[in-house]
Structure 1
Amino acid sequence: MNFPLITDPFFYLIAVPAVLLLGVSKSGFGAGFGSLAVPLMALAVTVPQAAAILMPVLLLMDLLGLATFRNHVDRALLRLMVPFALVGVVLGAVLFKLLDAQVVAAIVGGFTLLFLAQQMFFKPKPHGPPPPRWQGALLLMTSGFTSFIAHAGGPPVNAYVMRLKMPPLLFTGTLAYLFFFINLAKWLPYAWLGLLDLRNLATSVVLLPLAPLGVWLGVRLARRIRPDLFYRLIRLGMFLTGSKLLWDGLA
């Protein structure tokens, strides 16, 4: 049987680096770069279709991330973060059909750049207290919401977790587990919205072999990179993500 997958060469020219970037992000750079995957793919397909195509790819990457970082996770922090993030997922599912895609892109991009500015110009004191719980709750709900809309949940949660000054491997492992639960919660709403059709799923199957390659690249980088460079790259990813999304929203 011939699957009705996407055959446009331009789509794969964009999708292949987007999936590799997502894999590197999932395993090595705390989702800073991965938030660019949907905006990049949206150059060839719509934002909802790009998000739907990436769902099976994300599931495989999440499972690989859980296996890789099973010994590097802050379980107490995870128990605090997951419920708030899931509230954001529910809000995203409810509002999905009411929000224009360009409005969502502009909102996500604007908040991402604001989070980055906060990190760069209002840095926490070296021995200062962690961010208040209400701030973490708000950022995590924002992360769940933007993750549902465009798999762009990395920047808001980065803005919170980076202030906890965690070692790179613990940072990456905890976020890997967090986004496993977020992405798992998105399957039923995506099916309910009619996004998981045969064409999108067949295209996902073609892209699946790139998932372990991207994760492998990310793991190697995460284990070898210096902490200061690690966080600079996350900030660079946040800047690129925010700029691209804001440009898409205002164009």
Structure 2
Amino acid sequence: MLLLIAAFGIVLLGAFAQSVSGFGFALVTVPLLAMVIDPRTAVVVTALTNIALNVAATARDRRHVRWRVTGALTATALVGVPIGLLVLVTLPERLLSVLIAVVVLGCVALVWSGVRLRTGRAGIGAVGVLVGVLTAATGTNGPPLVAVFHSLGYDPRTFRATLAAVFAGAGLIALTGFALAGRIDGEVLRLSLATLPAVPLGWWLGNLVFDRIPPLVFRRIVLVGLLGSAGAALAAVAA
């Protein structure tokens, strides 16, 4: 019961963060869930609950989605997902936990730096492959997309909607891979079903403040929180 309560709270926090800033669900949930359950289960549970969040967000904000960019990123993510699955299945749990924490720290640095990535066909294709790898291996696929969309100059609504559409597409591909690899078992389904109600609740709470908190301010709050979660995950592995 305590595990389910903790997992529910973590998913709620992740959904709230993504609702307000457009990203952060997996970056929040994966390292924190990996502290209370094994990292492989944390990645798959996050993927399952994240699908519901992103499909609903995409449907609601579909008018703001840049579909051509979404299609290009999702198509190239197909190349990266098998590589990420190989990492997820073969890497020892302790090393996988370290990898998740290190990826989160790297993602925080990428977003915080405000770096702009190339947005030509080759640049978007490379980011799509990276998104596929990160989606399947660690679940933390947002920051490369944040960097690309920042370079494209998307407004907050377009930014959030297009992120959700790419997350949904890449997530569905990854879930197919998880199923084929036998990673969706009874424990994963139990945790996913128990925490699923936290997704709409967190999104609703985030929407209440979406237009009231400057996006830059909230993004910095999320990034500080991610530094803390990644640091805590590394400390747990080292203990």
From the superposition, tell whether residues 40 and 122 of structure 1 become closer, same or farther in structure 2 (CA, over 3 Å).
Answer: closer
Q: Does 1:81 align with 2:50?
A: no
3-state DSSP of counterpart to 2:211: helix
Q: Does 1:10 align with 2:9?
A: no
**Matching residue of 2:193:** 205
Measure the CA separation in 2 of the matches of 1:61 and 1:168: 18
Q: Does 1:21 align with 2:9?
A: no
From the superposition, tell whether residues 237 and 67 of structure 1 become closer, same or farther in structure 2 (CA, over 3 Å).
Answer: farther
CA contact (8 A) 2:72 2:128 kept: no
CA contact (8 A) 1:104 1:249 kept: no
From the superposition, tell whether residues 164 and 243 of structure 1 become closer, same or farther in structure 2 (CA, over 3 Å).
Answer: farther
**Matching residue of 1:6:** none
Counterpart code for 1:148: A
**Matching residue of 2:175:** 187
CA contact (8 A) 1:102 1:249 kept: yes
Q: Does 1:143 align with 2:131?
A: yes
TM-score by length of structure 1 reads 0.79
Counterpart code for 1:27: S
Question: Alignment partner for residue 176 of structure 1, among 164, 167, 171?
Answer: 164
Cα offset, 1:68, TM superposition = 2.3
Relative CO higher for 1 or 2, CA cutoff 8 Å, sep ≥ 6?
1
Cα offset, 1:112, TM superposition = 4.2
**Matching residue of 1:223:** 211
Cα offset, 1:111, TM superposition = 4.4
Question: Alignment partner for residue 98 of structure 1, among 82, 90, 96?
Answer: 90
Cα offset, 1:191, TM superposition = 1.5
Measure the CA separation in 2 of the matches of 1:167 and 1:119: 16
- Is the radius of gyration larger for structure 1 or structure 2? 1
CA contact (8 A) 1:168 1:230 kept: no
CA contact (8 A) 2:17 2:222 kept: no
Question: Alignment partner for residue 38 of structure 1, among 6, 30, 33?
Answer: 30
CA contact (8 A) 1:86 1:185 kept: yes
Count of aligned positions: 239
Cα offset, 1:40, TM superposition = 1.3
Larger proportion of helix: 2
Provide the aligned C-alpha RMSD in A.
2.9
Measure the CA separation in 2 of the matches of 1:173 and 1:139: 18
3-state DSSP of counterpart to 1:31: coil
**Matching residue of 1:57:** 49
TM-score by length of structure 2 reads 0.82
CA contact (8 A) 1:70 1:173 kept: yes
Measure the CA separation in 2 of the matches of 1:238 and 1:135: 26
Deviation string 1:24-45 (CA, Å, 9 cap, x unpaired) is: 2443322225312122122221
3-state DSSP of counterpart to 1:71: helix
**Matching residue of 1:5:** none
Cα offset, 1:84, TM superposition = 2.7
Deviation string 1:61-93 (CA, Å, 9 cap, x unpaired) is: 122212222122122322332223232222112
Counterpart code for 1:41: L
Q: Does 1:48 align with 2:40?
A: yes
Deviation string 1:197-235 (CA, Å, 9 cap, x unpaired) is: 233213322222222101112223323332332442454
CA contact (8 A) 1:18 1:36 kept: yes
From the superposition, tell whether residues 145 and 117 of structure 1 become closer, same or farther in structure 2 (CA, over 3 Å).
Answer: same
Gaps of 5+ in 2: none
